Chains A and B, each alone.
Chain A
Amino acid sequence: MENGVVISTDKLVRKFKVGRTELVALKEVSLEFRRGEFAGLVGPSGSGKTTLLNIIGTLDAPSSGTAVVLGERVESLSPVRAASLRSRHIGFIFQTFNLLPVYTAYENVEFPLLLLGMSQSERRKKVTDALEWVGLADRANSRPTQLSGGESQRVAIARAVVKRPELVLADEPTANLDAENSHKILQTMVSLNHDLGTTFLFSTHDEKVIRYLRRKISLIDGRVANDEVRSPNSD
């Protein structure tokens, strides 16, 4: 990845068929993200934030234009290759935590490493580290039902970062959390970004999240309306 560019999109367009008409959710979005960024997509509901994250996360493909993620062209990636790219290099955090209910916190975090075929001893070390980063080492054996919302989201973060991905994509990660937990989560992510150099890309309209962003990209009606680099907690 030349010059540390992890994501670049060029005139990215995503259209959806809605009945007879066509809805253009992304209109020629051209953006570039470098390694280690802590950036957020903000904008009103329906502005295309999730759609863009989906394409960057190889869960969806553009209608036209290009998206290059970690050196791979998303539009020409086969489903199995896309899955492999996700499993190796991309971590997801969702609005609801989506932990697998029958597994313990430890096992939920371990799952991505199993997909990578890592050895037991290697897994043990990485899972323990990840749980420590999010401050839940002592809850390793708890089941999701025994965890609070904030704790669950921290386990989800550990699951997203345990394999040390290049990229973590978080779609409204604080939407279901109260202020205190939101701040804890963000602090966790800031320090992971700092310590591991992981690139974070959020979608949010939560002011609490926006305060932590070092780059804020405003989407309005599928277009990039504003792209500002800022120092965190500046407003």
Chain B
Amino acid sequence: MLTFLAKGLLRDRSRSLFPLLTVAIGVTLVVFMDSYLRGATDAMFAATASFVCGHVRVATRAYAKAGADATNELALLGVDSILGELKRDFPDVTWTLRTRFGGLVDVPDSMGETRVQSPAAGMAIDLSPESPERKILRLEQSLASGHLPSAPGEVLLSDDFARRLDVKPGDKLTLVSSTMNGSMATYNFTLSGTVRFGVSAMDRGAVLADINDIQQALDMPDAADAVFGFLPVAGYDDRLASRLAARFNSGRDTTDRYAPVMETMRLASGLGSMFDLIGAATGLIVSIFIVAMAVVLWNAGLMGSLRRYGEVGVRLAIGESKPAVYRSLLAESFLIGLAGSVLGTLAGLGLGYYLQEVGIDISGMMPNATVVIDDVLRARVTPVSVYIGFVPGLLATFVGAAISGLGVFKRQTAMLAKELGS
């Protein structure tokens, strides 16, 4: 009997191939959408963490409160001991010092006169060879020319910026800025290399200097804007970040404007509501796909039972019982749902995996982006990807058939002769 049903299933394409393709395509889309959206969110989180505020950030209360308007005046003092404390109390987290600075980059000509000058957005980080920043900012991979700084006074420029200024590794630059206390500061650097991060907002006009040089240049010894902490997890785990922050902040002075406070990326980036929105939108998009797929499959089940009205009638007349017919319809839909969901999940995972490993460059599509977003579309395949399409694909097919198949029980055998007669 099973072979008999299997033969029917395989020969009747509108019973096997078409529903199978419908399930497979639906499941593929759900799986792919899910891993793509996950990847896109991850990329945004990663870029935000690397360039804006870490997964958690320790800064003064005043600096935290000022948000994007914060200046070096509000920097954290005594950072070496704070850093030591953090490393001791939270050994799993990677801690780094960061200072943002603004100013003019001045390029002298051979006579020492200004050849070209341009405003720059600077980021001071630990550029030493053993620094974790090399990994966090993917400096090696991002290097476009020259070499990474190996001596004091060496800086990196974003490659586009260096081109605009027409400078090459080895050239001298002067930074004109202001000290922590507001007086004018100049400092001479040597360009060691150029970098391209693939993050449009960073690639347009950034200077990357060593934190020690900047402490000297801006007269802020043992001070930095903030300490960034990077959690050892993929993506961003807000619950973990919140726990760390609560632990660090407990029992600390809340009246002193200059006392350190730890904030999560959610808070520190000011993007909390955007994160929520993205999370909700992702959920919504995936749900819509799942519902649409379920409706389509459901309908396919209904169509199937209409089309097979005659066949079911003959089988009942010949003496197959209604429960037996119903069971065979369920078994068929289960097989179709299973095969389609397996195929769809594999295809979706394949696409997602391709995007995860290779990616698609979209930098051309957003030349003026100010949000720090990776220029390469990525996906992230997670264990969730395995069932997010599979389960609804299988269920929708099966439940669709289970409900439409109930029609079998409504068939009046007394009507069969009439139905089969014409």
A binds B: yes
Listed in ascending order, the chain A residues whose CB lies under 8 Å from chain B are: 50, 53-54, 57-60, 79-80, 82-88, 90, 92, 94-96, 98, 100-103, 107, 110-112, 114-115, 117, 159, 171-172
Contact B310 A98 (CB under 8 A): yes
| Given A82-B413, A83-B319, A107-B4, 5 more pairs with CB closer than 8 A | A79-B413, A80-B323, A85-B319, A90-B319, A114-B1
Nearest CB on A from B313, distance (A): 7
Contact A53 B4 (CB under 8 A): no
| B347 within 8 Å of A (CB atoms) | no
Chain A residue nearest to B317 in the complex (CB): A92
Nearest CB on B from A104, distance (A): 9
Contact B12 A112 (CB under 8 A): no
| B311 within 8 Å of A (CB atoms) | yes
* Contact A107-B7, Cβ < 8 Å, known A60-B414, A102-B12: yes
Partner of B413, one of A59, A94, A115, A117: A59
Most chain A beta carbons < 10 A, residue from B310, B316, B323, B421: B421
Contact A79 B416 (CB under 8 A): no
How many Å lie between the Cα of A37 and that of B311 in the bound state?
A: 30
Contact A87 B8 (CB under 8 A): no
Contacts of A50 in B (CB 8 A): 417-418, 421
| B322 within 8 Å of A (CB atoms) | yes
Chain A residue nearest to B421 in the complex (CB): A95
* Contact A84-B421, Cβ < 8 Å, known A59-B413, A111-B4: no
Chain A residue nearest to B5 in the complex (CB): A114
Contacts of B418 in A (CB 8 A): 50
Which label, helix, strand, loop or mixed, suits the secondary structure of the B interface?
helix
Contacts of A84 in B (CB 8 A): 319, 321
Complex interface bits, B273-311 against A, C-beta within 8 A gives 1, otherwise 0: 000000000000000000000000000000000000011
Contact B317 A86 (CB under 8 A): yes
Contact B320 A96 (CB under 8 A): no
Contact A59 B417 (CB under 8 A): yes
Contact A96 B422 (CB under 8 A): yes
Contacts of B310 in A (CB 8 A): 98
Contact A79 B322 (CB under 8 A): yes
Contacts of A94 in B (CB 8 A): 317, 417, 420-421
Contact A96 B414 (CB under 8 A): no
Contact B8 A100 (CB under 8 A): yes
Query: Which chain B residues (116-174) contact chain A, with CB distance < 8 Å?
Result: none
Nearest CB on B from A209, distance (A): 15
Query: Which chain B residues (389-422) contact chain A, with CB distance < 8 Å?
Result: 413-414, 416-418, 420-422
